[in-house]
């Protein structure tokens, strides 16, 4: 009898805990039941969380609530709803997640506190506009030249392989890293040093994936496995800060005045800004250090991943590759590509857009935080809720994209074969916190692909190109070799 009573009490108590864990305001978006402590983490496979979350969207709708460990989250997978929410000032925050708080300390731009963010976002946007904006300028010319020089180095490297397979990720990282380190560390930073910094950053990115669960269940950091990750990370991170410190000190010896036609670095631009403000909490050297690491991190991995997917898709779909090449050869007629040429290359632009859709580099977006209650349609997103822009689901929505699993660049061409940019294509997200580096990223991708395809035919080394993805901070392809065959031979 006692055993029955005990069992009944345990069942009732568990039920009460479950009900409490799921008590919700009727205005909140619907969602699955959460378990105490872990919420719905058990439903997510870390390497395929974007797919699991998309499946939940099919069940609960384009806006749903879910708890990830201790973090109340709203997942949005409809482009119109996402725009409505992310355009609001109340959605400008970033959630407090253990790992990101640990490495960013509320400084820089991507995970900075809102007051720091406002200033730094304006500073970085002005800086990037001055070097890569739509207007023709000597500095923009200098940036394009720098990118072209780096592509030429890539071409030189690839030629030295004489048609044998090349491990793509390393070579592409070196190409992108050369440009980003010039912009963010300055021209005088020795190449070997910036290469080491990029490698270290790559380690940090990899570890951030291993450390992922700590974001939602911070007590895990006391377990030996996670404690080790944090201690290795701290070591690398300290070295990165020391390295950037040295770079800043070295650059500070030079006059911040730059010639009109030389490529500026953010160090110089920051120092100039600092000299106009007497005492400042934001324009100090510590902030600059975090900002540089942040910009370096946000720009390199994302752009490299996007180029890797483009090369792999073109190696797999040879007919598309040939069409792009023919368009490039006929429009450019042997001329070195410039960013301005893209508007006369609709099939090339459509192909780049289709890769950005079918392999959304930042599949789960970068999370936002509701700074106040947000009302959208008939729902309320409560203050302090994490907002996840599920970009993958937006790009794979069969109601928007006909047969979304198919790689079909022509979906971006209208009846006159002109490129059209649909509002549902959001690889750089949307709203006031959307990617600041969109234009630079497009330049890096286009100038690279346009040069490579005029010189080489890209082929697979393996019997099949593997287009399956592994989800880290970005959606990564599996490491594989491809061959670049000189088309003149
Ligand atoms: C193809 C390459 C890239 C992709 C797909 C990409 C995508 C994104 C996405 C989805 C976000 C999140 C926006 C949001 O919070 O809603 C973001 C933020 C950001 N990106 Fe990019 N990005 C790329 C390249 C770059 C480059 C080249 C730079 C630097 C020049 C850059 C700098 C940033 C920064 C600083 C943020 C944070 C903005 C903020 O919090 O205000 N990104 N990016």
Q: What is the pLDDT of residue 261?
A: 55
Give the Å distance between the CA of 110 and the centre of ligand 1: 8
Q: Which whole-number Å values give the CA distances from 334 to 144, 247, 320, in the listed order?
A: 17, 39, 20
Strands of the sheet with 456-460, listed across from one edge: 166-167, 481-486, 456-460
427 close to ligand 1 (CB < 6 Angstrom): yes
pLDDT of residue 368: 96
CA 102, 105, 110, 112 torsion-angle sign: positive
For the Cβ of 474 lying below 6 angstroms from any atom of ligand 1, the answer is: no
pLDDT along the chain (489 residues), means of 10: 49 48 73 93 89 96 95 96 97 91 87 88 90 70 88 90 85 90 79 81 77 86 88 87 86 61 77 78 86 90 96 97 97 92 97 98 95 94 97 97 97 96 97 94 96 94 89 88 86
- Tell me the pairing of strands 71-76 and 63-68: antiparallel
Where helices occur in 253-265 by DSSP H, the ranges are none
**Ligand 1 center from residue 437 Cα (angstroms):** 6
Ligand 1 atom closest to Cα of residue 300:
27
User: Do residues 216 and 41 touch, judged by C-beta distance below 8 A?
Assistant: yes
Looking at the domain that runs over 92-362+396-486, which CATH code has it been given?
A: 1.10.630.10
Helix H or strand E segment including 109: none
Q: Which two tokens stand for residue 272?
A: 């100039």
Reduce the DSSP state of residue 438 to 3 states and report it: helix
Q: What is the pLDDT of residues 86-121, one digit of tens each?
A: 999 999 999 988 888 888 888 889 988 888 899 899
Q: Give 418's DSSP letter.
A: -
d(CA 418, CA 394): 23
Instruction: State the pairing for strand pair 469-471/63-68.
Output: unpaired
First to last CA, the chain: 88
CA of 29 to the centre of ligand 1 (A): 28
Q: What was the pLDDT predicted at 228?
A: 87
Choose one of 107, 126, 311, 435 to mutate for the ligand 1 pocket test, by most ligand atoms within 8 angstroms of C-beta: 435
Q: Is 435 flagged in the annotation as binding?
A: yes
For the chain, the structural domain boundaries read 92-362+396-486
The pair of three-digit structure tokens given for residue 466, joined into one six-digit string: 């593997």
CB of 366 closer than 6 angstroms to any ligand 1 atom: yes
Q: Does any ligand 1 atom lie closer than 6 A to the CB of residue 362?
A: yes
């Amino acid at each position: 009898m006692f055993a029955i009573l005990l069992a009944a009490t345990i069942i009732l108590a568990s039920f009460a805990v479950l009900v409490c864990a799921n008590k919700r305001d009727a205005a909140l978006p619907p969602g699955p039941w959460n378990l105490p402590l872990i919420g719905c983490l058990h439903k997510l496979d870390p390497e395929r969380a974007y797919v699991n979350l998309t499946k939940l969207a099919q069940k609960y709708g384009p806006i749903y609530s879910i708890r990830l460990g201790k973090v109340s989250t709203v997942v949005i997978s409809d482009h119109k709803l996402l725009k409505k929410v992310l355009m609001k000032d109340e959605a400008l925050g970033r959630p407090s997640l253990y790992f990101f708080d640990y490495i960013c300390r509320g400084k820089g731009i991507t995970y900075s506190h809102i007051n720091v963010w406002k200033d730094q976002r304006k500073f970085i946007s002005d800086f990037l506009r001055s070097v890569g904006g739509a207007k023709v300028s000597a500095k923009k010319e200098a940036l394009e030249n720098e990118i072209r020089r780096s592509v030429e180095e890539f071409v030189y490297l690839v030629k030295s392989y004489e048609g044998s397979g090349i491990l793509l990720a390393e070579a592409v990282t070196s190409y992108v890293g050369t440009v980003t380190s010039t912009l963010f560390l300055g021209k005088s930073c020795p190449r070997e040093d910036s290469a080491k910094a990029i490698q270290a950053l790559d380690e940090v990115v990899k570890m951030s994936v291993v450390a992922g669960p700590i974001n939602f269940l911070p007590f895990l950091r006391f377990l030996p496995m996670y404690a080790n990750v944090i201690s290795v990370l701290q070591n690398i991170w300290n070295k990165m800060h020391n390295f950037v410190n040295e770079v800043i000190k070295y650059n500070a010896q030079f006059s911040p005045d730059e010639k009109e036609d030389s490529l500026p670095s953010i160090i110089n631009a920051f120092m100039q800004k600092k000299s106009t403000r007497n005492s400042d909490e934001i324009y100090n050297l510590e902030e600059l250090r975090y900002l540089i690491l942040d910009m370096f991190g946000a720009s390199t991995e994302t752009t490299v991943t996007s180029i890797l997917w483009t090369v792999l898709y073109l190696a797999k779909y040879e007919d598309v590759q040939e069409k792009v090449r023919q368009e490039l050869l006929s429009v450019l007629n042997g001329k070195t590509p410039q960013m301005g040429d893209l508007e006369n290359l609709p099939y090339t632009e459509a192909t780049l857009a289709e890769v950005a859709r079918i392999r959304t580099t930042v599949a789960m977006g970068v999370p936002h935080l509701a700074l106040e209650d947000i009302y959208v349609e008939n729902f309320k997103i409560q203050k302090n809720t994490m907002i996840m822009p599920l970009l993958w689901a937006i790009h794979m929505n069969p109601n928007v994209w006909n047969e979304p699993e198919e790689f079909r660049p022509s979906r971006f061409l209208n009846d006159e074969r002109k490129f059209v940019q649909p509002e549902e294509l959001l690889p750089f997200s949307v709203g006031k916190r959307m990617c600041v580096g969109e234009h630079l990223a497009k330049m890096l991708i286009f100038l690279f692909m346009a040069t490579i395809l005029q010189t080489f035919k890209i082929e697979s080394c393996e019997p099949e190109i593997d287009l399956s993805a592994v989800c880290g901070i970005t959606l990564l392809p599996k490491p594989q070799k491809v061959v670049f065959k000189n088309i003149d031979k």
